[in-house]
A = this chain, B = another copy of it.
């Protein structure tokens, strides 16, 4: 993926996504001992950066393929992102959701116009149903993180951030399926001035950390973390990008994630998902390494179940 690819992607999607604000807080900077710029994708359409990748992937389909629609399986933000993107462009969206998905998420997908298929909550059932719909409808399957166009779309958040703060020393993102950190690393490489990309990951779901060590895609045996967006594994498209462009991954404890999340809620008055708190927790954990540096953090989303807060 080239610099030109990123620029074309930004051009393609920019009228259909929000240019989210970059926020900072003197109090947070004081606590961290660094100058931090938060790119607030919690204020993105449908509440997460996933909108960028989803809409880019759909825009890149041929007219003919667009008419046949898109299909994905997801219980989370990507389901909403695909539904809203498809609705925005005028394309059918078929969303396979596990029967265990919260009613509020199903309602959100329905609200955005997605056609839901409920299936048993196993990966086989989810993929099987998505494959069946793909075959029946001729719809295109969209993967939430292991997809070139999704990665390019995700990159535009860091591109915007670097337009406002061109001389960042680091950009930190959470690492789940790898689509955000890969896109961010491409943006930092092509548009930063020696800007390094660092991923944050829970110890409880440190597949990406281990993958970088072993040189192969590792999976999580368990994923007992409050950062529920980070339980997924890397894929064969984003992993080589991560190997090449991501500086390193910092792992954090659950208590650190919850404390970092609470700090951002209390001091910045913004609602962020636990997953977004992971890179900030990583910075606080290794404070000395970031002292007086200029740091961007991608706040990936703000879709939280207010009835189930960890504090």
Q: Which of B42, B272, B306, B311 contacts A311 (CB 8 A)?
A: B306
Q: Please indicate the chain B residues that have their CB under 8 angstroms from the CB of A23 in the complex.
A: 43
Q: Please indicate the chain B residues that have their CB under 8 angstroms from the CB of A138 in the complex.
A: none
Alpha-carbon separation in the docked complex, A47 to B21 (Å): 18
Q: Tell me whether B271 and A47 are in contact (CB under 8 A).
A: no
User: Can you name the residue of chain B whose Cβ is closest to the Cβ of A27?
Assistant: B111
What's the least CB distance linking A285 to chain B, in Å? 22
Q: Tell me whether B271 and A43 are in contact (CB under 8 A).
A: no
User: Can you name the residue of chain B whose Cβ is closest to the Cβ of A269?
Assistant: B302
Q: Tell me whether A265 and B269 are in contact (CB under 8 A).
A: no
Q: Tell me whether A306 and B271 are in contact (CB under 8 A).
A: no
User: Can you name the residue of chain B whose Cβ is closest to the Cβ of A47?
Assistant: B269
Alpha-carbon separation in the docked complex, A43 to B21 (Å): 13
> What's the number of copies of this chain in the assembled complex?
2
A309 within 8 A of partner (CB): yes
0/1 string, A252-282, CB within 8 A of B gives 1: 0000000000100110011110000000000
Alpha-carbon separation in the docked complex, A42 to B306 (Å): 19
Q: Please indicate the chain B residues that have their CB under 8 angstroms from the CB of A262 in the complex.
A: 306
Q: Tell me whether A266 and B21 are in contact (CB under 8 A).
A: no
0/1 string, A45-87, CB within 8 A of B gives 1: 0010000000000000000000000000000000000000000
0/1 string, A28-43, CB within 8 A of B gives 1: 0000000000000011
Pairs A–B under 8 Å by Cβ, sample size 10: A21-B21, A42-B269, A47-B269, A265-B271, A266-B306, A269-B272, A269-B302, A270-B270, A270-B271, A307-B311
Q: Please indicate the chain B residues that have their CB under 8 angstroms from the CB of A271 in the complex.
A: 265, 269-271
User: Can you name the residue of chain B whose Cβ is closest to the Cβ of A311?
Assistant: B306
Known contacts A47-B269, A306-B311, then 5 further A-B pairs from the complex at CB < 8 Å, ordered by chain A residue: A23-B43, A266-B306, A269-B272, A270-B271, A271-B271
Q: Tell me whether B270 and A269 are in contact (CB under 8 A).
A: yes
Alpha-carbon separation in the docked complex, A271 to B261 (Å): 13
Q: Tell me whether B265 and A306 are in contact (CB under 8 A).
A: yes
Alpha-carbon separation in the docked complex, A23 to B20 (Å): 11
